[in-house]
Structures are given as C-alpha cells and as structure tokens.
Amino acid sequence: MTKYRIKPSVFLYYPSDHIGVVGFDEDSHETFFINLNSSSLKKLLVHTLFDLPMLKESFECEQVTAKEILNKLLIYKIINEDL
C-alpha cells in the first residue's frame, strides 16, 4: 500500500474558524488555499506517514471521495509518495 508524507517544505495554517486551510511551500514559495475540511486534514497529518485508508478514516468519507482528496493533495504538491 502506497504511503504518503507531507513535504517537509510545506507549512500549514488552520484558521480558527475551521473553514479551509492555507498552505505555504518554502521551496517554490507558493501559497495555496486548500478547500478541505480543516479538522479532518489536521487529524490526518498528525501521522507522519499515511495511506489511503487512513485518509478515508480522517475524513469520514467514501472511498471515491478519499481518492479525490488524495489527488487534490498531490496536485497541490503538499504531499509526496514515500519511496
């Protein structure tokens, strides 16, 4: 099972109103606005390494949605596959 980790150059801000998450990548200097449930994301990223089932659990969602979320995180370049 493929495992993923958050990129070490990425920093996240979880706003106190729990709506969305703001990220910053120190390498590319890009700032991105992540349209995902912030408490779920926070829950997920407590783990250094995670996989798709763990994502599904944190977000309490269907497999299909979990895959979409994983894809989103990959497209944003927030996470890397753990090789």
Partner 1 sequence: MYIDIGEYLFRVDKAPNIVINNLKLMYDDAFSGFSHSPADFSVSLSHDSLLRRFVKPQVTFYLGNNSPFKPLPASQSYPVMEWGMNWCIAATDFNRLIVHAAVLVKNNKAIIFPATPGSGKSTLSAYFALSGWKLYSDEMAIIDLDTLKVMPLFRPVCLKNQSISLVKEWFPQSIFTGIAKDTQKGDVAHLKINNFAEFKTFSPVDVVAIVFPKYQKNTKTEPYMINKSTGFEKLAANSFNYNILGRKGFDGIQRLIEKTQQVEINYNDLSDVDNLLTSEFTL
Partner 2 sequence: MNKQKTYNYIESLIFHNEIPIIVLKEWEIIIHVLREINLLAACYFRLEAEDKLTLLPLFALKHMKSAAVYSSRQSEQVIFESKLLQKILDDKDIHAVFLKGASYTLRKSRNSKGRVYSDIDLLVKKNDISKAETSLEKHAWRTKKVSEYDNNYYREWSHEIPPMFNIHRGTVLDLHHNILLPISGREVNVELLIENCQSIDGGYTVLGFAATILHSIVHLIINEDVSNGYRDILDITTLIKENDSPEFWQEITLLSSKLGFNNELYLALSLSKKYANLTVPNNVLMGLSEQINNSKLNFLLNYVYFFALQPHSPAVQTLKHKIAISIVYILGHLQKMPLKILVPHLLTKSFFSIRDQIFGKHHFDK
Among 1, 16, 48, 64, binds partner 1 (CB under 8 A): 16
Compose the 6-45 pattern: x for residues touching partner 2 by CB under 8 A, - for all others.
---------------------xxx----------------
3-state helix/strand/coil string of the chain: CCCEEECCCEEEECCCCCCCEEEEECCCCEEEEECCCHHHHHHHHCCCEECHHHHHHHHCCCHHHHHHHHHHHHHCCCEEECC
Among 4, 6, 21, 37, binds partner 1 (CB under 8 A): 21
Question: What is the size of the binding site for partner 1 (CB under 8 A)?
Answer: 14
